[in-house]
């Protein structure tokens, strides 16, 4: 039974993803992207990961989309500027993508799925996944977690370096 909502969400996600790349208006594209991301959040809930769903909504639907819309607004991208700027790359790209899709599909459908389930303890399944995730982050993944803080610092500094004009010139 659970598969029915999954297929609904998945279908809407794929359709609106196609919408993102096919509409000419950048704002419409951004809204389609928002729909896609919301469907993914719904799928996360079906997979019993309320935390990931919340993060998806907060960060992607909330923060990232606002940035997108801001950029569209500030740069004032009209319809005309989003014309086709591809140099016949489609001739190569489309077959390449199709071959890749066919290969991956063949492997998923035809291959024997021998993947063992992850660490799905009762705690995770009942809905405590946020707590489990937090504990994992601060125990097992402590070191990469700390390095990520440096990574964010670098990104912050980098953004400033790239946009700040030299004053003494």
Partner 1 sequence: MPSALNALNLNFSTIWPEIILTAVAIIILVLDFFVKKENKSILGYLSVLGLLAVIPVAAMTVDPAPSFGGMVRADGFSAFFNVIFLISAVFTVLISMDYMEKMNIQRGEYYYLTLFATLGMMVMASANDFVNLYVGLETMAISFYVLVAIRVDNRKSVEGALKYFVLGALSSGILLYGIAFAYGFSGTTSLTGIASIGSRLSSQSPFLLLALALIIVGFGFKIAAFPFHSWSPDAYEGAPVPVAGFLSVGSKAAAFAVFVRVFVAAFPAFHGHWVDLLWILSAATMVYGSVVAISQKNIVRMLAYSSIAHAGVMLMGLLVYNDIGSAGILYYLLVYTFMNLGAFAVITMFIRKDGRGSDLSDYRGLAAARPLWAFFLALFLLSLAGIPPTGGFTAKFFILAAAINARYYWLAAIGVLSTVIALFFYAKVIFYMYMNERADAEDLPVMGATYSVVLILTAIGTVITGVYPAPFMDIALKVIKPFFM
**Footprint of partner 1 on this chain (CB under 8 A)?**
103-104, 107, 110-119, 139-144, 147-148, 150-151, 153-155, 157-158, 161-162, 166, 168
For residue 131, how far is the Cα from the chain centroid? 23
Least CB distance to partner 1 at residue 162 (A):
6
CB-wise, 1 or 160, nearer to partner 1? 160
Residue 10 CA to residue 17 CA, distance in Å, equals: 10
CB-wise, 24 or 140, nearer to partner 1? 140
CB-wise, 8 or 99, nearer to partner 1? 99
CB-wise, 83 or 112, nearer to partner 1? 112
Q: How many Cβ atoms are within 10 Å of 71's Cβ, its own excluded?
A: 12
* Class of residue 121 by CB neighbours under 10 A (exposed 0-12, middle 13-18, buried 19+): exposed
Least CB distance to partner 1 at residue 140 (A):
4
What 3-state class would DSSP assign to 9? helix
**Tokens representing 148?**
């990520």
Least CB distance to partner 1 at residue 117 (A):
6
CB-wise, 4 or 115, nearer to partner 1? 115
Least CB distance to partner 1 at residue 119 (A):
7
Residue 159 CA to residue 169 CA, distance in Å, equals: 20
Residue 60 CA to residue 54 CA, distance in Å, equals: 10
Least CB distance to partner 1 at residue 109 (A):
10
What 3-state class would DSSP assign to 139? coil
């Amino acid at each position: 039974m659970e598969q029915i909502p999954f297929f609904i969400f998945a279908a809407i996600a794929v359709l609106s993803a196609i919408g993102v790349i096919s509409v000419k208006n950048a704002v419409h594209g951004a809204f389609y992207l928002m729909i896609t991301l919301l469907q993914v959040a719904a799928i996360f809930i079906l997979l019993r990961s309320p935390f990931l769903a919340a993060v998806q909504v907060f960060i992607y639907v909330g923060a990232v989309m606002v940035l997108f819309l801001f950029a569209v607004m500030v740069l004032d991208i009209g319809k005309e500027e989003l014309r086709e700027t591809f140099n016949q790359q489609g001739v190569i790209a489309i077959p390449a993508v199709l071959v890749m899709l066919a290969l991956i599909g063949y492997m998923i459908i035809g291959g024997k799925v021998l993947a063992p389930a992850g660490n799905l303890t009762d705690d995770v399944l009942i809905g405590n996944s946020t707590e489990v995730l937090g504990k994992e982050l601060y125990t097992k993944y402590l070191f990469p977690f700390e390095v990520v803080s440096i990574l964010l610092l670098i990104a912050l500094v980098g953004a400033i370096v790239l946009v700040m004009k030299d004053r003494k010139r």
